[in-house]
C-alpha cells in the first residue's frame, strides 16, 4: 500500500502553486513568490519521499534539486536546474526574506516566476512517471 504522506506532500505542493496564481491575480506579488518557493520545495520533497521514503530536513532548493537529480538520474531535470540556477537561488532568498525582511517584489518578476513554476512542474512530473 502506498504511503499516504507521498500524496499529502504532492497535494500541498500543488495547493501552493494554486495559491501563487491566486496571489498574483490579487496583486500580492510577495506572496506569489513565497507560494512558488513553497510549491517547489514540497514537490521536490514529494519526489524524494516517493522514491526513497525520506528527504533532507532542509529548505534549500539547491540541495533538494541535487538530491532529486541523484535519485532519479534524469537528464531533463539536470538541464532544467542548470539553466535555471539563478532563479532557484532567487527563490531560496525569497524563503528567507518573506519571513524576516521587508522585501517587496513586482508584477513582472512574479509573472516570470509563475511561468518558471509551470515549467518546473512539467519537468518534475516526468521522473514521477518512471
Question: pTM here?
Answer: 0.94
What pLDDT does 100 receive?
86
Helices 29-52 and 61-72 meet at what angle, rounded to 10?
A: 30
DSSP notation for 3-51: -HHHHHHHHHHHHHHHHHHHHHHHT-HHHHHHHHHHHHHHHHHHHHHHH
Ranges in the chain, pLDDT < 70: 1-2, 129-130
The total domain count for the chain is 1
8 Å CB contact between 77 and 51: no
Give the CATH number, domain containing residue 118. 1.20.120.330
What pLDDT does 74 receive?
86
CA distances for 75 relative to 70, 80, 81, angstroms: 11, 8, 10
What pLDDT does 130 receive?
59
What pLDDT does 98 receive?
84
Identify the domain containing residue 8 by its residue range.
4-128
What pLDDT does 72 receive?
94
Q: Within 13 Å, how many C-alpha atoms sit on residue 126's CB side? A: 14
Which residues does 72 contact at the CB level (< 8 Å), separation at least 6? 47, 51, 127, 130
What pLDDT does 127 receive?
73
Amino acid at each position: 500500500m502506498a504511503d499516504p504522506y507521498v500524496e499529502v506532500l504532492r497535494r500541498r505542493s500543488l495547493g501552493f502553486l494554486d495559491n501563487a496564481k491566486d496571489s498574483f491575480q490579487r496583486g500580492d506579488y510577495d506572496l506569489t513568490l513565497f507560494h512558488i518557493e513553497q510549491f517547489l520545495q514540497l514537490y521536490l520533497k514529494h519526489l524524494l519521499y516517493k522514491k526513497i521514503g525520506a528527504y533532507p530536513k532542509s529548505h534549500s532548493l539547491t540541495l533538494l534539486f541535487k538530491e532529486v537529480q541523484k535519485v532519479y538520474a534524469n537528464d531533463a531535470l539536470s538541464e532544467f536546474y542548470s539553466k535555471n540556477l539563478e532563479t532557484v537561488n532567487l527563490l531560496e532568498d525569497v524563503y528567507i526574506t518573506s519571513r524576516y525582511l521587508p522585501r517587496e517584489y513586482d508584477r513582472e518578476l512574479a509573472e516570470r516566476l509563475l511561468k518558471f513554476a509551470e515549467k518546473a512542474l512539467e519537468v518534475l512530473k516526468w521522473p514521477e512517471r518512471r
